Each structure stands twice: as structure tokens, then as C-alpha cells.
Amino acid sequence: MLWQGQTELASALFVDLKKKPAINFIAYLKKHSTRIINYEYFSQSGLCSIGSGAVESAVKQIGRRMKISGEQWKLENIPRMLQLRSAYLNGQLTA
């Protein structure tokens, strides 16, 4: 159910359980329900990678770029650089 983003249906399975882990899980689903996406849809449609590997790799690349001697970015320019990098990786920039 969570693979399909159905947090309410998943929560319903735990409502009758009274142990702390079940109560915590229901609270987590309620708090984060808007952040839990339909992974199945995105996976099948090929719209984006749902793994964290690509994101973690990009973060490392950006971190290394910011630490290169003589190649410093101003803090206020980082969001624009991330937007450009995202657009490039998503094929939204044309040559």
C-alpha cells in the first residue's frame, strides 16, 4: 500500500493495535502522508529515479565542487546552480 502511496489504507491496518510501535507508525504516516509518493507510478512511468543513489551522488559532487581550491561559490548562488544542474540532468537545457 505504501508503494502506491496509500497511507490511509496502510494506517487502517494498524488502528486496532495498541503497542507503541504500531501507534508510532500510524503517527508517522499521518505526519508524513503528503511526502509519501506513489512510487509504483513513478517507477513504471520512468519519470524519475526513485532510488537515493543518484541524489546522494549529486550531493557528493556538489560538495566536492564547493571545496575545490579557487572554485568557491557564493552561498546565495548555490540554489541557482542546483536548479541549473537539475535542469541539465533532466534534459531540460538545450544546446
Q: Please tell me the total count of domains within the chain.
A: 2
pTM of the model: 0.49
Query: Does residue 71 belong to any structural domain of this protein?
Result: yes
**What is the pLDDT at residue 8?**
93
SS3 50: coil
Query: Does residue 95 belong to any structural domain of this protein?
Result: no
Residues 9 and 37 in one domain: yes
Domain range enclosing 22:
2-45
CB 5 within 8 A of CB 38: yes
**What is the pLDDT at residue 71?**
62
In degrees, to the nearest 5, what angle opens at C-alpha 87 toward C-alphas 85 and 93? 110
**Cα dist. 89→10, 26, 73 in Å?**
34, 36, 20
Residues 6 and 27 in one domain: yes
The pLDDT tens digits along the chain (95 residues) read 988 989 999 999 999 999 999 999 999 999 998 888 888 887 787 766 666 677 677 777 777 776 666 666 678 878 887 888 788 777 787 65
Helices (H) and strands (E) counted in the chain, each on its own, are 5, 0
Query: Does residue 65 belong to any structural domain of this protein?
Result: yes
Residue 78 CB: number of other CB atoms within 10 A?
12
